[in-house]
Amino acid sequence: MTAASLSAPLHTPGGSARKRTALRVLPGFNLTLGYTVLYLSLIVLIPLSALVFKTFTLTWEQFWAAISGPRVVASYQLTFGASLLAAMVNVVFGLLVAWVLVRYNFPGKKWVDALVDLPFALPTAVAGISLTALLAGNGWIGQYLEPLGIQVAFKPAGIVIALIFIGLPFVVRTVQPVLEDAEKELEEAATCLGATRWQTFTRVIFPSIAPALLTGFAMAFARAIGEYGSVIFIAGNMPMVSEITPLIIIGKLEQYDYAGATAVALVMLVISFALLLVVNALQSWQRKRSGAAS
């Protein structure tokens, strides 16, 4: 779309009205919006509201007891701690991988780039059993860690490893396009003005990719909190030690404690909704930043 075709009607009086009629030239608005809202309601909104209504059948005391038992609180601490740690590792290595893929050339770069998406494409259960096989005492990596007294599989450390695997593409894929669009002229200007390469990175490049990095962090963190498939195989699932919150929900369901499972699920739902809003806010901040720069 050219700038002229957009700006011409906007500058005439009553331009917004003309713009609206122009947009509505395209047919299908009512049909597609209606279908979108209907399908969204049937698949997502009504089932999710079932969760909220089911929680209302509990008294406040019952609800509080269900979500604040010692085993449940221990699972929150583990889930949050492991997710936070994994997301931080992902920020560091995700930035490094994105940087290397955008800025440098090396043989096989295309394949490495394609491989970044592996955690999106590989089923979580497969990742779970495979990481467990690697890190168990007789595994390819575990056999070298065992003599050093480091045990990863069936320990909280194993959970962090699984979550790093799951979260890596989120950071790489949010930072990569921003790094590609970054204007080299700014770096050249910084160099001409006498900045060292490190100063250029910290003062010029880093601020421009910081919003994307933060978005990637929030996305990896949000995904890690809800993750189930890859974690349960490697976690060991010991109550109070290595039991994640989604597993608490499964455990309550298996004991037919539907109300208790629902209460904990509601806590998780509220947290994930809050994180979704944070990610959205970060993304619009990022868009504003890059829009203002160009």
Partner 1 sequence: MSTATTARNVRNAKAGTTEAAWVRYTLIGVALTFMALFLVLPLAAVFAEALRKGFGAYFDALQEPDAWSAMRLTLLTAAIAVPLNLVFGVAAAWCIAKYEFRGKAFLTTLVDLPFSVSPVVAGLIYVLMFGAQGWFGPWLQAHDIKIIFAVPGIVLATVFVTFPFIARELIPLMQSQGNDEEQAAIVLGATGWQTFWYVTLPNIKWGLIYGVILCNARAMGEFGAVSVVSGHIRGQTNTLPLHVEILYNEYQSVAAFAVASLLAILALVTLFIKSVAEWLHTRELKAIAALSPERPSGDLA
Residues 222-281 that bind partner 1 (CB under 8 A): 222-223, 225-229, 233, 246-247, 249-250, 253, 258, 261-262, 265, 268-269, 272-273, 275-277, 279-280
Which residue number, 18 or 54, has a Cβ lying nearer to partner 1?
54
**Shortest separation between residue 281's beta carbon and partner 1, angstroms:** 10
d(CA 170, CA 83): 13
Residue nearer to partner 1 on the CB measure, 36 or 68: 36
**Least distance CB 120 / partner 1 (angstroms):** 7
The residue count for binding partner 1 (CB under 8 A) is 99
CB of 124 to partner 1, least distance (A): 5
In the bound complex, what is the minimum distance in angstroms from residue 26's beta carbon to partner 1? 5
Applying the rule CB under 8 A, the residues between 164 and 183 that interact with partner 1 are: 164-165, 168
Binding mask 6-45 for partner 1 (x = CB under 8 A): --------------x-xxxxxxxx-xxx-xxx-xx--xxx
Rule CB under 8 A: which of 118-147 touch partner 1?
A: 118-127, 129-131, 133-134, 139-141
Report the residue number, 272 or 290, with the smaller CB distance to partner 1.
272
Burial group, residue 11, by CB count within 10 angstroms (0-12, 13-18, 19+): exposed
Any residues with CB less than 8 A from the CB of 86 and at least 6 apart, and which? 160, 163, 164, 166, 167, 220, 224
Nearest approach in angstroms of CB 187 to partner 1 is 4
Scan residues 51-110 and list those touching partner 1 (CB under 8 A): 51, 54, 93, 96-97, 99-101, 103-104, 106, 110
Query: Nearer Cβ to partner 1, position 112 or 238?
Result: 112
Of the two residues 44 and 240, which places its CB atom closer to partner 1 in the complex? 44
Pair 175, 216: CB distance under 8 Å: yes
Site for partner 1 contains 212 (CB under 8 A):
no
Q: For partner 1, which is the closer residue by CB, 155 or 265?
A: 265
Q: Give the C-alpha separation, 202 to 149, whole Å.
A: 38
CB of 88 to partner 1, least distance (A): 14
**What are 147's two structure tokens?**
């003599």
